[in-house]
Structure 1
Amino acid sequence: MTTPAPRLLSDDLVKVLQLARESDSVELKLTVPERSYRSAAAALGVDPLDAQIRQVFFFDTPDLRLDAAGVVVRARRVRDRDDSVVKLRPVVPSALSAELRASPNLVVEVDAMPGGYVCSAALKQRLTSPDVAAVVSGRKPLRKILDKDQRAFFLEHAPEGVTLEDLSVLGPILVLKLSLRPEGTPQKFVAEMWTYPDGTRVVELSTKCPPADALDVALDTRAFLERKGIPLSGEQRTKTRTALEFFSRELQALAAEGPGPDSQ
């Protein structure tokens, strides 16, 4: 029997590096196991009083038709500004139009985590007025927080028959975000804790780097986290996936209950 020759690089790693070369940035992410929250915070010198408070909302149909098509519509409320994004994932960067790639508001990024990766294209907009609260309360339509390029991007990739008016509010999620510069590494980290209405939490550590540095930064970051005793082999739960599934269940349960007596 012939033994297969060992590969220098795995197929997944080769693919990640190829995507990275065509992207604007690479973000390395790690979900911290719940049992390690306190020890990880102590190891990284986290002070929760330094964290920034945010509210995050997603918009999709109750059965997540946008998600099934790889489309994400998200808005955030932050104390000094609101923002919105329409994102498509996965994408092949070379398949995006030259006009879209030239947009200063487009970010093509590879997200890599233990056991997986995805390349996304996101059209972002920093809002000049705090309209997100008005949109999620129903006082303003969703289109008020999306510019014409975001609306066109949505129309191009949304499933047939799904419009902005068909989308429900999925949220809010309370988010604490903290920037870290821990000793022992040149990398800047971001720690985020997403708390869902049922008390479920997802804590994520992430660091960004230029595509050319991705492999070196990944190896250095892994070594740093191992030295700090932060587990790298726990279950990876993406923040967006957890949010969409939670609120989808909630919306479908409400629909199954039917209208209440006050709706008569």
Structure 2
Amino acid sequence: MQLVQDPATKADAQQFWQLPGRELDRLLASTRHADRVELKLVVPTTAHEATCASLGVDFSRASARKVYFLDTADLKLKRHGVVARVRSVEDRADDSVVKLRPCAADDLPARLRRSKRFGVEVDAMPGQFVCTGAIARRLGKNDVRKAVRGERPLRALFSKEQLALLPGRTRIGDLSIFGPVDVRREKILPLGADFRLAVERWTYPDGSSILELSTRCAARAAVPVAAQLASVLRAYEIDLTGEQQTKTHTTLSYFHCAG
């Protein structure tokens, strides 16, 4: 059940979402069918250093992660709204995920919505949002590295349930590996916040990078958390008006062009 929000709280949340009236209504409607919401902000490149300094983030202390996306040479998965990603994390188990993005949660097959492994999330950035359905899988340590090196099959990184989300007639052998991206991530508790903020830097082989701030919450709490997030970011003098981009699109475009 959704929480009843007062107009002032909704107006404060809108300072983060920055959506036209009808789009804001669509966003709020989409949360009624979601399990959780992730609020994201991509920081302009020129503000990366100042933002990290303001938040007290030092990535030299963060564990290293390597992220890879899988797609065909002509990006068939991307064109069909499917994302396949694997990730290796220093000192932790690897993982894989297959996502349907965008998806209409109320139109999903009943078998998916019944699955305990399938989750629906609304990803919301200033000026845009998308509903995503996903199945994640926990892997063993070094599983991703072995698959990338050709020491084990890529298929071993995904469950049958995950592979069933791939577009029709797409086989795992049709997919190429796009990556890696070097990822560093820290979680902090900002002053004035009731939530933890993830600060994540994705660095590409040419040295370019994306800096993203994010927090997750239950779908029913999206409005008050967005309102508080807007207030917290303003207090840290972090600009909410910069151009937004998704890590998936940026990564696939980068390596597709490089290839």
TM-score greater than 0.5 by the shorter chain: yes
* Aligned residue type for 2:49: R
Number of the residue aligned with 1:69: 80
1:239 aligns with 2:247: yes
* Aligned residue type for 2:242: G
1:198 aligns with 2:216: no
Counterparts of 1:48 and 1:198 in 2: how far apart (Å)?
18
Corresponding pairs, count: 240
Number of the residue aligned with 2:68: 57
User: By how many angstroms is 1:40 displaced?
Assistant: 1.2
1:112 aligns with 2:120: no
Number of the residue aligned with 2:23: 12
Q: TM-score, normalised by structure 1?
A: 0.87
Number of the residue aligned with 1:187: 195
Counterparts of 1:63 and 1:20 in 2: how far apart (Å)?
33
1:169 aligns with 2:177: yes
Q: Can you give the 5+ residue segments of structure 2 that lack an aligned partner in the other structure?
A: 1-10, 12-19
Counterparts of 1:166 and 1:227 in 2: how far apart (Å)?
48
Q: Deviations over 1:201-259 (max 9, x none)?
A: 000000111111111111211121112110111111211111000111122xxxxxxxx
Counterparts of 1:221 and 1:25 in 2: how far apart (Å)?
16
Number of the residue aligned with 2:40: 29
Q: Which has the larger radius of gyration?
A: 1
Counterparts of 1:133 and 1:226 in 2: how far apart (Å)?
40
Counterparts of 2:83 and 2:192 in 1: how far apart (Å)?
36
Percent sequence identity over matched residues?
Answer: 43
User: By how many angstroms is 1:12 displaced?
Assistant: 0.7
The alignment partner of 2:119 has SS state of strand
Q: Which has the higher contact order (CA 8 A, sep 6+)?
A: 2
Find the partner of 1:127 among 139, 148, 173.
139
Please identify runs of 4+ aligned residues in structure 1 that moved more than 4 A: none
* Aligned residue type for 2:180: P
1:218 aligns with 2:230: no
Please identify, of 223-232 and 116-125, the stretch whose mean Cα deviation from structure 2 is larger: 223-232
Q: TM-score, normalised by structure 2?
A: 0.88
Counterparts of 1:198 and 1:47 in 2: how far apart (Å)?
21
Counterparts of 2:126 and 2:230 in 1: how far apart (Å)?
10
8 Å Cα contact 1:45/1:182 also seen in 2: no
The alignment partner of 2:207 has SS state of coil
8 Å Cα contact 2:118/2:134 also seen in 1: yes
How does 1:245-264 map onto structure 2 within 5 Å?
245-251=253-259
8 Å Cα contact 1:26/1:109 also seen in 2: yes
Find the partner of 1:90 among 94, 97, 102.
102
Counterparts of 1:137 and 1:250 in 2: how far apart (Å)?
20
Q: Deviations over 1:132-179 (max 9, x none)?
A: 11211223221111111112222xxx1x44321111010000000111
8 Å Cα contact 2:117/2:135 also seen in 1: yes
Find the partner of 1:40 among 51, 66, 75.
51
8 Å Cα contact 2:97/2:136 also seen in 1: yes
Number of the residue aligned with 2:8: none
